Every structure is written in structure tokens, then in C-alpha cells.
Structure 1
Amino acid sequence: MTSILPIIEELADAPDHPARARWLLEVPLSVLIRDQVAVNRLLSAAGFHEGLAYMAAEISALSATRGRDGLAPNTIRMTREYARIGIQVIARGGAEEGAA
């Protein structure tokens, strides 16, 4: 028996960056918050820098103090959306990480 949860094992077993990107987009956000250390370690070990940036953006957005409108500040929301778009492109296999 391993010491990580099955949902985290799915990320550990992902064969490539598109599979990791799909995992990041599909996993419940509560898992990203709860297991952020393990997720970051796996993404780092895989050299998935776009995934690390996405994780940082999601955690920032989920942890931000919200305004009266119930939303995080615009800068945080925009950073999150740009990171999410980048991960969506990778998940579709449409771009290599770091490509211009």
C-alpha cells in the first residue's frame, strides 16, 4: 500500500504533460488545496513548469481575500484564467510547454 491517495497516484502515473494537464483540470479543487505539497512535488519532478504555474494561480485564487462582490481581485482572477487557458491548450496536445 502506498502512502498517497489513489487520486494523487493518477497524477504520479500520468505518462506525459497533456495527461498531467488533464488531471489538473479535472481534479476537484479541494484536492489541489488539501494535497498541494504532494501535487507540487510530482509536477516539479516531472518538469511540468506550466502545471506548477497553474497550481500557484489556482491556490492564490482559492486563498485570496474576496471583495464585496464575492470575487478575488481582478489581477488574481486574470492570472488564474491565463494559467487555465495555457493548461487547456497543453491538455488538448496543442502546444509543447514553453513553446512560443
Structure 2
Amino acid sequence: MTAALLPIVEELFDATDHSERAHWLLAVPLDVLARERVHIRQALVKANFPEGLAYLEAEIASLCAVRGSDGLAPATTRSMRETARIVLGVAARGRPV
């Protein structure tokens, strides 16, 4: 890729299938998802990986959500994130989603 990308993000661009991309998304630090979301989104669009895009958006929404007095994001945001994680977990195992 280009010199502007973090090496960890280059790994996503170099992934050869959705299973590798899913594993990368589930393992990468959340701060990398937040900081590099534009490049990550580009990689997922280029790879035609809608499940990965849904996961990225769910994680970003959760990170940006106003938290309640209990310190948690709203239940709808948490539910959306967990659903996206489950779907991505299926993709990580190499099965069709």
C-alpha cells in the first residue's frame, strides 16, 4: 500500500479473503478502528465485504455513543454491536453469512 498507512492497516488491505478480514477486524485495537476508520472503510468497500462494514460502523457507533449513568452505551447500540460481532465471527470461520 502507501507509506501513509499504518502497517497494521496494510494487513487488512493485504488480506486475501473475508475470513482473514474478519479475523483482523475482531483482533485490531479499537483505537485503530477509530483513528483509521476511513482507510479501513476503503479496504472493506474495495473487498466488497458488507459484514465487515456493518461491524466497523457498529463499533464506531458504540465508541461515539453518549453513555448512560451506568457507563454503558444505549441498549440498542450494544445490541447492534453484538449482532455485528456475531455475524463477523461467522465470517471469520469461513462460512457464508
Moved over 3 A (4+): none
Compute the TM-score of the two structures, normalised by the length of structure 2: 0.96
Compute the TM-score of the two structures, normalised by the length of structure 1: 0.93
SS, match of residue 15 in structure 1: coil
Equivalence for 2:12: 11
Equivalence for 2:3: 2
Aligned mates of 1:77, 1:5 — CA distance in 2: 28
Equivalence for 1:52: 53
Aligned mates of 2:33, 2:68 — CA distance in 1: 23
Percent identity of paired positions between Structure 1 and Structure 2: 55
Indicate yes or no: 2:37 matched with 1:36.
Answer: yes
- Cα displacement string for residues 34-80 of structure 1 (whole angstroms, at most 9, x for unaligned residues): 00000000000100000000000000001000000000000000000
Aligned length: 96
Aligned mates of 1:45, 1:71 — CA distance in 2: 33
Q: CA deviation at 1:2?
A: 2.2
Aligned mates of 1:59, 1:4 — CA distance in 2: 19
